[in-house]
Amino acid sequence: MNTMPVLLTAEQARAELDRNGITIAHFCREHGLNKNLVSDLLNGRKKGVRGEARRAAVLLRIKDGVISN
């Protein structure tokens, strides 16, 4: 059975990071992301449609998708 991953709102994604004791800066270093971009996603200023913003949104579980290298 193929289940859909549970997507989070930006607020829930931020809370998930907090709950796990992960700062935005640490998350960004771990995944090679721009800290301002991730902050913009979590604050609703970016939607994560293309490129690095989309990759970040998928990693944060804000958007459904597959990340390929």
pLDDT digits (tens, 9 = 90+) for 41-53: 999 999 999 999 9
Average pLDDT over residues 30-57: 96
The structural domain count of the chain equals 1
Is residue 52 in some structural domain?
yes
Q: Would 24 be classed as within a structural domain?
A: yes
Residue type, 4: M
| Residue 13, H or E segment | helix 10-19
Does residue 4 form part of some domain? Answer: no
Domain region containing 32 = 10-59
Arithmetic mean of pLDDT, 28-52: 96
CB burial class (10 A; 0-12, 13-18, 19+) of residue 56? Answer: buried
In a domain, 19, yes or no: yes
pTM of full prediction above 0.85:
yes
Q: Does some domain include residue 67?
A: no
Angle at 28 between CA 12 and CA 60, to 5 degrees: 30
Is residue 42 assigned to a domain?
yes
What does the pLDDT look like over 14-25, one tens digit per residue?
Answer: 999 999 999 999
